[in-house]
Structure 1
Amino acid sequence: MIVLPTAVRETILERAREGDPDEICGVLGGEYEPDGESRVRSQYPAENVAATPRTRYEIDPEDQLAIFDRLEDRGEEIVGFYHSHPRGPPRPSATDAAQAAWPDRSYVIVSLEPFEVGSWRWQADGTDGEFERERVVVD
Structure 2
Amino acid sequence: MRFPEDMVEQILNHMQGNLQEERCGLIGGVNGEAHLFLPITNILHSPTRFRMDASEQWQAFQTFEAQGLELMAIVHSHPNGPSVPSPTDLAEFAYPGVLYLIAAPTAEGWQLRGFWLDEGQIREEGLEISRNASS
TM value normalised by structure 2: 0.88
Report the CA distance shift for 1:85/1:41 in structure 2 as closer, same or farther (over 3 A). Answer: same
Partner in structure 2 of residue 136 of structure 1:
127
Distance 2:55 2:122 in 1: 26
Aligned to 2:22: 23
Q: Is the 8 A contact 1:29 1:40 kept in 2?
A: yes
CA contact (8 A) 1:80 1:107 kept: yes
Residue from 24, 39, 42 that aligns with 1:48: 42
Question: Could you say which residue in structure 1 is the equivalent of 2:54?
Answer: 61
Structure 2 counterpart of 1:35: none
Distance (whole Å) between structure 1 residues aligned to residue 3 and residue 105 of structure 2: 18
Relative contact order: is structure 1 or structure 2 higher (C-alpha 8 Å, sep ≥ 6)?
Answer: 2
**What is the CA-CA distance between 1:89 and the residue it aligns to?**
1.3
CA distance in 2 between partners of 1:55 and 1:113 (Å): 17
Distance across 2 between alignment mates of 1:22 and 1:60: 14
- Match in the other structure for 2:113: 118
Runs (5+) with no aligned partner, structure 1: 33-37
TM-score under structure 1 normalisation?
0.86
Could you tell me which runs of 5 or more consecutive residues in structure 2 were left unpaired when the two chains were aligned: 131-135
In the TM superposition, what whole-angstrom CA distance separates every residue of 1:40-99 from its partner, at most 9, and x where no partner exists? Answer: 11101100012x511111102222111100110011110010001111111100000111
Aligned partner letter, 2:100: Y
Q: Which residue of 2 aligns with 1:9?
A: 8
CA shift for structure 1 position 129: 3.6
Instruction: In structure 1, give the amino acid aligned to 2:19.
Output: D
* Counterpart mapping for 1:90-105 below 5 A: 90-105=83-98
Q: How does 1:69-88 map to 2 (within 5 A)?
A: 69-88=62-81
What's the counterpart of residue 133 of structure 2?
none
